[in-house]
Every structure is written in C-alpha cells, then in structure tokens.
Amino acid sequence: MPDPAANSEDDIRQIDSRTFVIDQEDIDTDQIIPARFLTTTSRDGLGKLAFHDWRYDGEGKPLEAVSLNSLDTAECRVLVAGRNFGCGSSREHAPWALHDFGFRAVISSEFADIFRSNSARNGLLPIMAPEAAHNWLLANPGVSIRIDLASQHVDLGNGPSFDFEIEPFAKHCLMEGTDPLGFLMSHSDAIDAYEADIA
Amino acid sequence: MSPETERADKTPRSLFDKVWEAHQVRAETTETPGLLYIDLHLVHEVTSPQAFSVLDERGLTVRRPDRTLATIDHSTPTLDFAAGEGPPYATAAAQSQVERLQDNAAKHGITLHGWGSGHRGVVHVIGPELGATQPGMTIVCGDSHTATHGAFGALAFGIGTTEVGHVLASQCLLQRKPKSMRVTVDGETAPGISAKDIILAVIAELGVDGGTGCVIEYAGGAIEALDMEGRMTVCNMSIEAGARAGMIAPDATTFAWLEGREHCPHGADWDQAVAEWQTLRSDPGARFDREVMIDAATIRPMVTWGTAPDTGIAVNSPIPEPRSASQRKALAYMGLEAGKPVAGARVDQVFIGSCTNSRITDLREAAAIMSGRRVADGIRALVVPGSVAVRAQAEAEGLDRIFIDAGAEWRQPGCSMCIAMNGDRGEPGQLVVSTSNRNFEGRQGPGVRTILASPATAAAAAIAGHVIEPAELMEPAHA
Ligand code: SF4
C-alpha cells in the first residue's frame, strides 16, 4: 500500500512545480499505459511505459520530437490535461505509471471516477480546476504553480488561482500518511455483525 | 437486513437506493466514506497480483474466499493446443501472470476457473453463466466492465487494484454514494436492431463523460423487451459513458434465465429468493439526479467513427463535422471523412467477441449473417466465444461450422482482440470492425483503427469487405 506522505521524496502536501501541458480531451488509460504492458505482476518501474505509444516509435526507440521524452520531472511534477482525463479502463497501472514517471498531480476540468480514486490512493493528486483556471493553464504551458493540500488551494501566480475539492478521507490519508486499509480493518466487528445478520 | 421491515421512512426509492442501503455496514460521514459490503468479488489475472502481494506484505488473509471467484481471460491465448502441451502464451510475462493467479487462488482457497474448467472464460461472461451473479447483489471486480452484471439488478462496478486488496481482506469497500441517472429507452426498436445498437445510441446521446459519478438505471419498453444477453450488452458499456454502474430491474426474463444455474438457490430457497428479488425495482416517484429519454424507434444499426465510444452514428448517416481538436484528430486517425457515412469503409479485420458481445445469442446473430456466405478476400475474421460453455453450446448448435465454412477463425474463449494483450491484435493502420466496447487509439494494437458495432454489423462487414448495414446482406439471401 502506498504511503506517500511518510516518504519525504513523495511528500505532496505542498507541491512547487512547473506544469507540463497535454491539451487533449478524453485521454484514456490505454493512452496512459497501453494494455499490452499489463502483464506485469509488479507495480514498480512503470514510468518508462507512461504514454508509451506517444513516446516511442514502432521499434521502441524514443521519439526526439516528443517533449515528454526530454521532460525534467524534478522541475515538472504537475501534468495539466484536457477534460475527462483517465477515462476507460480501471487499470491502476495508469496512476502507477504517471507517479513513477515523476508526476505528483494532474490538473484537469474533469476526471473519470475510477482514475480519480485510484490516483488519490497512489500519491498522485487529481485536481479539478474551474474552467477559467483550466483554460488558463492549458494556454500557459510551463508556468510555475504551488499546490497546497492543507488549504486545498492552487496558486497560479499571475493566473486565476483557485481552491479545489478533495474527498475528506483521501485528504486525511494523504496528509497523515495513513492507509485506508488500516481504517477498513479496524471495522472488523461491524463487518462480523453485518455478516451474522445476512447469514 | 430486510429493509422492508426496518424502514419507517416511506420515501420512494430507486432500485439502486435499495441495493445500496441493504449493503451498508457503516454509513458515510462528512469525514469518512461508508463501508459497503460486497457479496461477490470476481478476480482475474491482470488486476490482482499486486493486491495479493499487499495481503502477503501485511500478513492478511482473504476474508471470504467463498465470495470470491477467479478466472483467467485477459492474457490467455485463444489458440488451440494439444493435451499435454502448455498453452501457447504470447509472452513469458503473460504466462507468469496466469501462474501467479493460480498460486494465489490455491494459497487462499479461492475457486479458479482456469485451464481445464468447463467455465473458464471472460470474467463478465462466466459470473452470470454460473448463476453467481444474482439480483440485489453487490459485485465488484478489478475491471471497468463489471457493470455487465447490473443486467440482473445487481449493483456491479469496477474497482482499482488497491481496492481489490481491500475487498480481499475485508469483503468491504470504502464508498460514498454515487449519483443516480435513469435512461429510459421508450417504445420499440425496429426489426434487426440489437442491444449493441441501443447502447451505442445511448452513449452517443450521453457523451463519454455524461454518466460520470452516476449509477445508471436503464428502463423503458425497449430495455424490458431485451433478453438477458442483450441487457448484459447494454449494462456492459455503462462505463463508456463514464458511469460507475448500469442496472436493470430484474423481472420474469431474469428469473427464467437464472433458474437452475449452478450457484443459484434451488427448491424452496429459489422461490423465496424470487419473492425477494421481485421487490427490486424503483418505486413510483423514485428520485433520480438526472433523467434521459431516448426514442427506441429512431435507433438504426450503429457504428463508431472516432476514437471514443460516444462517436456512434447510424451506418449510413454522414459523419458529423468535428466539434473539437480532439475530434479532428480522431477523424484523421481513423482515416474517415466528415460528411460521408462510415458505410463503405474498407475493412481489414473483424473481431466478434468480448464481454460485450460473445454470448450465445451474439454468436447466433453473427452466424445468421455468415451462414452460406464467405468472408471477403483478404479479410481476417476472428470469432472468440466468451467462455468454454458458450463455445460448447455454439458447437452443439453447429455455429462453429458456419463460421469455419465462411472462412472465419473459431477460437478458444478469452478477451482476445478486445484488449490485444494475448497476442491477438491488428496491425498498424488496419481497420477493424469489432463487437467490443472500446475504440481508443491503439486499443487493438498500436496504430490499429477500431469501429465498434453489433455482431450482425461486424459479420456483415466481414462478408462484404466493407462497412454495410446488415439488412442489405439479409435481403438477397433470404428474399
Ligand atoms: S473482454 Fe475486453 S472489456 Fe471485457 S473484460 Fe476482457 S478486456 Fe475487459
């Protein structure tokens, strides 16, 4: 189980970063990581496969013209993408790949449900921006921004800064570095009682 | 948890409300999501290994192996192999993924319908086939097409691998209640219109994100008129409109289909179950966050023109002018032109299969078109039944002969070209007419272009060599 906040490298309570923009709507999880790479039994090392078919040619050689291939993810940890990011397959390999690639947040105007919950659990903040801020971010690639999880605020500097929503429990887990599985297991008495009732 | 005896509140409830409330172990609060009890957890090889690893790391066990059912479908080859030989896996990774599930199932006491089982197959085909899928249940799987099982009035949805671990360990999920939507497909469809045409029309109406955050209930005369296979096709594609789940109220059609299946109750228990299941329908006046009405009579045989499943149009209708940069890009990728119909587009491959359309009625629909005809020169047509049992049934009916005589390949069950991770795929640039559910760029292999269609329309494309309304083929042969 990921424990992002407990690991300082992955601390996403405050992110200062430039943005990387992919101005395309409906980016599905087959684009984020193609299905033929899903035969892995591990969750590590998937970053090299992120957006694979956009980044490599038919022989698997990196395409120089594709800026994702020269991106410095130490500086650029925030992906800005068009509406309805992460639609399609429920594969958690998608946030695993994006996280391993180096992203710590994705900003869009809308996310697919499963992708959103998968991301928040894997140290990748899914941030829904209001339309004006989203359009501004799409139009101004590479700007420096600050994401503050505690105050749920994104500071866009000269742009239209905004507050974002995050499910309170997901936020709690990210802030404290705690794990939803522990919370679930702490309810085993209630689960026992429910099972006794339906038996 | 009989809600009928405990409820003082007489507010009308939807089918979804009823199933949701009956599975609340703990209600949600502002700070924390609720605990939703899961009746049936379906597991396959692709989204489970990392979840089992977490269990091992934490020293946890599977809470209810008896409520967990596994199969292998995504990475498995669909080629024949001789007894005594191993399956011809496409890659060593695919093989080790399958073996990992075999090990995990054995270790945790989970029933696995693996090689040799008479019920191996696509996970969403075998659940209903075994009668493991039942009305009023909560069903999850690490797979976004889990909504298929909603055809039986179950609340069924896809989850991520972390959640697969949660359900293995606790039989519960942390959930907040989604919103609800009712899609009413009113009236009657024209002859020859299939469930796939209906759902492609619904998704075109809603858009790929129109159902985001929602559980959809499908209702109306055209839905009630569908057989169970058709209802599964409809619910299956709910995720393609962004919805978590799709549901249809169970009725006499549902009960007749389920009766006698292996996992279903028998005798007096069956009668009692049916009596309970009959209460599983939306009360008059039940509230939905959104209502959508579609006139069934307007639905024609559908195909998609773009790289998202909401780009369905009638086969002979002109492709609309692209409304966005993404749509322009999609048209260019597909090599199709706005203002012209998809009909006539030259086809390279045809795939009949997937959890959307690989059941016996789907194969019958395709066979009716292919019967006595030949697949056009240069076209490869793959027919992949959804399960070992579907394959056996089709062979008992002689459908395999029809496909083979037509020049199509009759394969072993699996996901196959729906996801193209087992070696079955198209070549870059090829145009594939597919009965599956996703036409995303590269879904069926890098650079492959996918047109989604019904089994009849796909079979007609195989025969004609280009996209065509199936009725155009039917007339000369049967006039
Ligand atoms: S047939 Fe396709 S959509 Fe269905 S479970 Fe398999 S890969 Fe997923």
Tens digits of residue pLDDT in B148-182: 999 999 999 999 999 999 999 999 999 999 999 99
Which residues, at least 6 apart from B272, have a Cβ–Cβ distance to it below 8 Å? B265
B158 with A90: Cβ contact below 8 A: yes
Residue to substitute in B78, B418, B440, B443 for testing ligand 1 pocket (most ligand atoms within 8 angstroms of CB) = B418
What is the structure's pLDDT at B473? 87
Residue B146's nearest CA partner among B67, B232, B63 is B232
pLDDT above 50 for B238? yes
Average pLDDT over every residue of B230-252: 97
Does residue B52 lie within any of the structural domains?
yes
What is the structure's pLDDT at B475? 61
What is the structure's pLDDT at A6? 41
d(CA B175, CA B20) in angstroms, rounded, equals 10
Does residue B141 lie within any of the structural domains?
yes
B354 lines ligand 1 (CB under 6 A): yes
- Ligand 1: which residue has its CA nearest to atom 2? B418
Does residue B311 lie within any of the structural domains?
yes
B415 lines ligand 1 (CB under 6 A): yes
> With an 8 Å Cβ cutoff, is A139 touching chain B?
no
- What torsion do the CA atoms of A42, A46, A50, A54 make, to the nearest 10 degrees? -100
> With an 8 Å Cβ cutoff, is B282 touching chain A?
no
The answer on B227 and B131 residing in a single domain is: no
| Number of domains chain B is built from | 3
- Taking only Cα atoms into account, the Rg of chain B, rounded to an integer number of angstroms, comes to 22
B54 with A112: Cβ contact below 8 A: no
What is the structure's pLDDT at A179? 85
Distance A118 CA to ligand 1 centre (A): 19
Size of interface A-B (CB pairs under 8 A): 174
The answer on B444 and B331 residing in a single domain is: yes
Between residues 70 and 89 of chain B, which touch chain A (CB distance below 8 Å)? 74-75
Sequence spans of domains, chain A: 11-166, 167-199
Under a CB-based contact definition with an 8 Å cutoff, are residues B375 and B408 in contact?
A: yes
Does residue B55 lie within any of the structural domains?
yes
Average pLDDT over every residue of B223-227: 98
A53 with B35: Cβ contact below 8 A: no
What is the structure's pLDDT at A1? 40
The answer on B379 and B286 residing in a single domain is: no
CATH number reported for the structural domain that contains residue B95 in this entry: 3.30.499.10
C-alpha separations of B115 from A24, B47, B189, B262, B338 in Å: 42, 19, 40, 19, 47
| Residue B356: half-sphere exposure toward Cβ, Cα within 13 Å | 29
Burial class (CB in 10 A: 0-12, 13-18, 19+), B298: exposed
d(CA B197, CA B299) in angstroms, rounded, equals 7
Between residues 109 and 168 of chain B, which touch chain A (CB distance below 8 Å)? 142-144, 158-163, 165-166
Q: What digits encode the pLDDT tens for the residues B21-55? A: 999 999 999 999 999 999 999 999 999 999 999 99
d(CA A85, CA A24) in angstroms, rounded, equals 9
Q: What digits encode the pLDDT tens for the residues B332-352? A: 999 999 999 999 999 999 999
> With an 8 Å Cβ cutoff, is A186 touching chain B?
no
Q: Residue A170 is which amino acid?
A: A
Q: What digits encode the pLDDT tens for the residues B136-152? A: 999 999 999 999 999 99
Under a CB-based contact definition with an 8 Å cutoff, are residues B101 and B48 in contact?
A: yes
Q: Is the dihedral of CA B137, B142, B147, B149 positive or negative?
A: negative
Q: What digits encode the pLDDT tens for the residues B401-423? A: 999 999 999 999 999 999 999 99
This complex has an ipTM of: 0.91
Mean pLDDT of chain B: 96
What is the structure's pLDDT at B2? 46
> With an 8 Å Cβ cutoff, is A57 touching chain B?
no
Of A41, A83, A195, the CB nearest to B96: A41
Under a CB-based contact definition with an 8 Å cutoff, are residues B212 and B290 in contact?
A: no
What is the structure's pLDDT at A58? 86
Report the Cα–Cα distance between both ends of chain A, in Å, rounded: 31
Tell me the pLDDT band of B1, cut-offs 50, 70 and 90.
very low
A42 with B47: Cβ contact below 8 A: no
The answer on B167 and B100 residing in a single domain is: yes
The answer on B184 and B172 residing in a single domain is: no
SS3 state of residue A1: coil
B436 lines ligand 1 (CB under 6 A): yes
Does residue B61 lie within any of the structural domains?
yes
Average pLDDT over every residue of B46-68: 96
The answer on B190 and B141 residing in a single domain is: no
Residue B424's nearest CA partner among B444, B447, B396 is B444
B391 lines ligand 1 (CB under 6 A): no
Average pLDDT over every residue of B282-291: 97
> With an 8 Å Cβ cutoff, is A92 touching chain B?
yes
The answer on B244 and B168 residing in a single domain is: no
> With an 8 Å Cβ cutoff, is A98 touching chain B?
no
Between residues 17 and 36 of chain A, which touch chain B (CB distance below 8 Å)? 23-26, 28, 30-31, 34-36
Under a CB-based contact definition with an 8 Å cutoff, are residues B227 and B198 in contact?
A: no
Does residue B1 lie within any of the structural domains?
no
B30 with A183: Cβ contact below 8 A: no
Strands B138-141, B40-43: parallel, antiparallel or unpaired by DSSP? Answer: parallel
d(CA B62, CA B109) in angstroms, rounded, equals 8
CATH number reported for the structural domain that contains residue B236 in this entry: 3.40.1060.10
Domain boundaries A11-166, corresponding CATH code: 3.20.19.10
pTM for the whole structure: 0.95
Q: For residue B89, what are the domain limits?
A: 8-176+250-277
C-alpha separations of B43 from A89, A152, B70, B256, B413 in Å: 15, 36, 4, 27, 17
Q: Give the distance from residue A13's alpha carbon to the nearest chain B alpha carbon, in angstroms.
A: 18
The answer on B27 and B170 residing in a single domain is: yes
- Ligand 1: which residue has its CA nearest to atom 6? B415
Does residue B185 lie within any of the structural domains?
yes
B232 lines ligand 1 (CB under 6 A): no
Residue ranges for chain A with pLDDT beneath 70 = 1-9
Does residue B3 lie within any of the structural domains?
no
